[in-house]
Chains A and B, each alone.
Chain A
């Protein structure tokens, strides 16, 4: 057994945290118990240790009682370790002579028996008392922060974050997977509740991004690799070939007009498949960058994506001296260095085919909300005229809310925007068609500035609201009025009976969900995901744009469903958080790094294990070397070293073993 060192003088403090801890743990009893442990000079219980008087108490005691170690039993170190280390330093001690015990998240909040919870608090405190005796004075190191920022995703979140940073003079790399930035917002017709035109407010920002001297825009590109640590990330970006030289293309689109295909005949992704495009195309009129691209899957000069050079290449002819078309273009990998990263990769809409009873894919006149956004849009496939897939104009329209939201069988969460966008579409469809419009809802969720008023407006416009989750959309009819219509069967829970409502068009208000590849992106940027698959913020209230990896921030719907105002606010916050690091210029590094003892035998078994590539081999001394700046203190090498020659600060053997002994002792 490791015995307490002779000259150790420990001060112990147990925090009540109001009722948070004191209601389940007998704090005075814990303090009385710890007072008798070897090495403890004083032991107190106090209502709020994190308060100013609490911190001052520590400082005063250090001087008065000549303390050289401090232990606080309170909440999670994530919240207040920094606070107490600072207090200990202010008292004149090295901050690493402090140790924190979590008796709130690990004890009082998760137990229901006061006696057992108190016993557990004592055991945890005992472990900390034993461990802290072996703590050593350590130094915090400073590492410079690279001033450039990477923004991943060019929707409204990424655009706003990039512009905020660029306007503050920071250099930004904006990487977007699609050929143009704009994201989902670029597809919308109007925005709720003000009904201002989405393109009118978005496109000025898009073109600013395109022309900003501080922004390097890489569209049709993806991040494939990220290494490094806060302040010093190395990122590899894959630029997919668009078969157009972006620097030479002027966006004149002569090539599109002169393509060997006279008529557009391939699915137009931007119009949600409602329109057609050519193999050479620009996604939409305001696309940024304003350059075309070639789809090798359908271009005649390729066969199944492989260049055959068999087309007459009328496009090249049309391009003429500009020479922007380059069929030989290859995928390109570019490595950049940045200090901070903002992930704003957005969402995907729920696939309505997963709910076959709503008939999407079976009945042509069942639409998703995004399709309707394009259908009512002046630049959409029908130039804004609401013409159904069968050529008719609808006289009655049903909008079904919560498709793939608030549903245990698909996605449990509320997608937050669907009530509002459904009402917006109801208004627009009414305006375009004068049809009777029915909204089928579970609850109307309109909690935003001007949102409830918008709901009132819709009611006064004569839009019908039926409270009930729709059972099915079908085409079997019982009456002559239902013939040839889509029938919505729903229990009207306000009227108290089942209704059959015949309509010509059904709009499915599909919910928001994480991208199918969100897990890959999570791993790429070393983030976490919540149970539903959205990226996890460090703290739901107080660190909403931070992640658990320093220097990586999140904004927009990749963190959870939200509307445009909230997305923009969050993107601004993420930009500000990045600027905090950039303008401070350096980050402090936790000294819990590992180091190699002279006994290292040079077996190299630790080298491939390090996830941060922090270990190298010194050929001169035949020993491993750990780069402190790269080491994240994960401990993998420590555990694997066959000769026990790797030590980690704050996790040295005697610290860990005495902690274990402490928790197991009676």
Chain B
């Protein structure tokens, strides 16, 4: 199993804990990742809202580079990258005018995009290519007793629900259960984290953050597991504002699902970027009291 790996800006910046945990976890499972050479902005952020053509061209360049690399699939861990790359692919196939724009721009720099390369999310690869059984076999320190609220955010299931249900995704739930954790009921799985509203319209953004955190606390979650750097940033970084707006601490830590996988695989904390969060996640798995009996002989 080898994939072209498109980190995007987040995994090299604010969301570096995601990359720091993703890479060792994938390696541990025997999944080879080859970082895309000379990648550029995926086209998310403001581009998509301001000028779809520019966003699609940016995404297309990455897709074309991935094809050129010779690997037939591209993995995009950041939810925003995942969405934009898929959207560009959709536009390429369904909107001839946009395809022409993309072809022209790529042609100018000697690149070509065929439209075939599948854009995959790590959750998709973990469940459908690696498989839960293989993952279970790698668990050394089961996350027994850890109560997780699985939070998918909006972008990996909408509008393209390629590997999970649009309204009630369950891939991360199944993964967490395979690691030994308990998944709590969390009715806000795919609700808005506030996106960029936390910066542009804080009152509305902070309200959404508060709702997500408060609900996780209510259902007894020890942490929120996320797949998206922006979700992680919003849920982790605005606790003082939440406190100011709603008069009380809601200190539920938010971690990447890959960090929890790393803990279950017995990788060291330092490898997993757990030190980077504003609200520290202190829970650690304890080894089973009785070691598994070794068969005689």
Contact = CB atoms under 8 A, between A and B. Distances in A.
A476 B165 contact: no
B107 interface: no
Contacts, number: 17
B42 to A, nearest CB: 29
A357 interface: yes
B162 interface: no
Given A356-B165, A356-B167, A478 B211 contact: yes
A476 B149 CA distance: 13
A357 B187 CA distance: 10
A477 B165 CA distance: 23
Contacts of A355: 167
B168 interface: yes
Contacts of B211: 476, 478
B140 interface: no
Interface string A452-477: 00000000000000000000001111
Interface in A444-500: 474-478
Contacts of B215: 476
Contact of A476 (B167, B168, B187): B187
A142 B215 CA distance: 77
A477 B211 CA distance: 9
A355 B168 CA distance: 10
A356 B168 contact: yes
A355 B165 CA distance: 11
B165 A475 contact: no
B55 interface: no
Contacts of A477: 218
A475 B167 CA distance: 15
A478 B210 CA distance: 10
Most buried by A among B165, B187, B211, B218: B187
B181 interface: no
A339 to B, nearest CB: 51
B188 interface: yes
A113 B293 CA distance: 86
Interface residues of B, number: 9
B168 A474 contact: no
Give the most central of A356, A475, A476: most B CB within 10 Å.
A476
Nearest to A473: B187
Contacts of B165: 356
A477 B188 CA distance: 11
Interface string B171-212: 000000000000001011000000000000000000000010
A478 B167 CA distance: 21
A474 B218 CA distance: 14
Contacts of A474: 187-188
Interface in B233-250: none
Nearest to B188: A476
A480 to B, nearest CB: 12
A478 B218 CA distance: 11
Contacts of A356: 165, 167-168
A362 B185 CA distance: 10
B162 to A, nearest CB: 17
A475 B168 contact: no
A357 B167 contact: yes
Nearest to B186: A476
Contacts of B188: 474, 476
A478 B213 CA distance: 12
A43 B29 CA distance: 84
A476 B184 CA distance: 13
Contacts of A478: 211
A477 B219 CA distance: 11
A584 to B, nearest CB: 56
Contacts of B187: 474-476
A475 B211 CA distance: 12
A165 B204 CA distance: 68
Nearest to B185: A475
Contacts of A357: 167-168
A477 B218 CA distance: 10
B168 to A, nearest CB: 4
Nearest to A361: B168
A378 to B, nearest CB: 35
A32 B218 CA distance: 86
A474 to B, nearest CB: 5
A356 B211 CA distance: 21
B25 to A, nearest CB: 29
Nearest to A355: B167
Interface string A336-370: 00000000000000000001110000100000000
Contacts of B167: 355-357
A409 to B, nearest CB: 10
Nearest to A358: B167
Nearest to A359: B187
A478 to B, nearest CB: 7
A355 B166 CA distance: 10
B169 to A, nearest CB: 10
Interface string A287-298: 000000000000
Contacts of B168: 356-357, 362
Nearest to A483: B218
Contacts of A476: 187-188, 211, 215
B228 to A, nearest CB: 19
Contacts of B218: 477
B175 to A, nearest CB: 19
Nearest to A409: B166
A398 B23 CA distance: 48
A449 to B, nearest CB: 40
B171 to A, nearest CB: 15
Residue in B165, B168, B188 whose Cβ sees the most chain A Cβ within 10 Å? B168
A357 B167 CA distance: 6
Interface in A355-406: 355-357, 362
Interface string B6-35: 000000000000000000000000000000
A363 to B, nearest CB: 9
A475 B168 CA distance: 14
Nearest to A357: B167
A362 B173 CA distance: 15
Nearest to B169: A356
17 contacts: A355-B167, A356-B165, A356-B167, A356-B168, A357-B167, A357-B168, A362-B168, A474-B187, A474-B188, A475-B185, A475-B187, A476-B187, A476-B188, A476-B211, A476-B215, A477-B218, A478-B211
Given A476-B215, A477-B218, A478-B211, 9 more contacts: A355-B167, A356-B168, A357-B167, A357-B168, A362-B168, A474-B187, A474-B188, A475-B187, A476-B187
Nearest 4 interchain pairs by C-beta? A356-B168, A356-B167, A357-B167, A474-B187
Interface of A: 355-357, 362, 474-478
Interface of B: 165, 167-168, 185, 187-188, 211, 215, 218
